[in-house]
Amino acid sequence: MRRTPLVLSALLLAGCSLGGGADEQAGDRTVVLVTHDSFAHDQAVFDAFRAETGIRVEVRKSGDAGALTNQLVLTKASPLGDVAFGVDTTFASRALDEGVFAEYRSPAATAGPDRYALDSTSRLTAVDVGDVCVNVDTAALEKRKLPVPKDYAALADPRYKDLLVVEDPATSSPGLAFLLGTVAEFGDGWVDYWAKLRANGVLVVAGWEEAYNQEFSGSSGKGPRPMVVSYASSPSAEIGDDGQPRTQAVLGTCFRQVEYAGVLAGAKNPGDGGKVVDLLLSPEFQRTVPELMYVYPAREGVALPESWQKAAPLPSEPASLPAADIQANRERWIEQWRAAVRG
């Protein structure tokens, strides 16, 4: 990870400085950044930003992406902070419909984040991209004389009976993303597909931590199942002593999740909040995103770590659904899933 001093010139985006004049920087100012529990950052980047602008970033964590969104909606009349990061594709429409975010157009949006814009209001700006895909323990499949499955349909093949673990979409962001991927893939036939997975012995657990670190054979937990719903980037963390990845993402099962940041409507400090959004899009912060949060930078031209280039290339054709469709159908789809899988 690069840890170099952040210079002001590196944070001038499209001619706009993150800091103000000397009188504006004389006093120390605080911006509260509300985010999810998985948020991680290089404190050196935040410290250098504070030295340049006089803005201290206070991080407050609030559960996973779903819990974060719920909290932002429930407290929108009296916001928890000035800026929020971590509302993702699966919940963004709810936050926008509820008026949680104010309009703010970052000068850095044209450097890549605009590719993932949800609408024309600039209330949410993409910070990172994470593709949820099935990961496989390649050695475990080879031992069973099984090929790596290529797509969703293959997961229901009886040859893979009792080998797959997934997360509950009602309690897990990657679990929900995987469900949405099956909706995108099978359309009205997605419920029948899940019935086939159930018949094929799919194991459902509450969250990613349990699925990946306890049930998946390819992780340090060395669980019993060689296939798990995780991320396209996960194999970069499973490099063997020979320098080769021990796991592989099945790129035919990927659903794109984008995480966004925005200035909260009614924030006490919206001006400095916008500068913090700019910070999250800066090259300095974006370079830390892969190694600290295992997601891909939204900004173009940011080099990935060497292990990612070998084991975790960004999927070129992930599944997706319009944010409005997710918002309109999410709860109904979860209930249908529960009936098909839980019974």
Copy the structure tokens of residue 320: 């997706």
The band of 316, judged by pLDDT with boundaries at 50, 70 and 90, is confident
Residue 131 clears pLDDT 80, i.e. is over it: yes
pTM for the full model?
0.81
pLDDT at 6: 35
Percent of the chain with pLDDT over 70: 92
Do the strands 164-167 and 255-263 form a parallel or antiparallel pair, or are they unpaired? unpaired
Do the strands 227-231 and 125-137 form a parallel or antiparallel pair, or are they unpaired? antiparallel
pLDDT at 341: 95
The band of 7, judged by pLDDT with boundaries at 50, 70 and 90, is very low
The band of 28, judged by pLDDT with boundaries at 50, 70 and 90, is low
Superfamily of domain 8-129+258-309: Periplasmic binding protein-like II (3.40.190.10)
pLDDT at 90: 86
Domain ranges of the chain: 8-129+258-309, 130-255+312-342
**pLDDT digits 0-9 by tens, 194-209:** 999 999 999 999 988 8
Higher-confidence residue of 300 and 316: namely 300
Distance CA 259, CA 95 (A): 13
CA distances from 342 to 170, 187, 199 (A): 12, 21, 12
**pLDDT digits 0-9 by tens, 256-313:** 999 999 999 999 999 999 999 999 999 999 999 999 998 999 999 999 888 888 888 8
Q: What angle do CA 93, 98, 168 make, to 5 degrees?
A: 50
What residue type is assigned to position 73 of the chain? V
Q: Which residue has the tokens 């002593």?
A: 241
Q: Which residue has the tokens 């963004």?
A: 92
Percent of the chain with pLDDT over 90: 75
Distance CA 301, CA 305 (A): 13
The kind and range of the H/E element at 198 are helix 190-199
Torsion of CA 18, 19, 20, 21, to 10 degrees: -140
SS3 289: helix
The reply to whether 8-129+258-309 and 130-255+312-342 are identical in fold is yes
Chain-wide mean pLDDT for the chain? 90
SS3 197: helix
Residue 52 clears pLDDT 90, i.e. is over it: yes
Yes or no: say if 230 and 294 are a contact pair by the CB < 8 Å rule: no
Mean pLDDT to the nearest integer, 178-199: 97
pLDDT at 300: 96
**CB count in 10 Å sphere of residue 103:** 10
The CATH architecture to which 130-255+312-342 belongs is 3-Layer(aba) Sandwich (3.40)
The band of 17, judged by pLDDT with boundaries at 50, 70 and 90, is very low
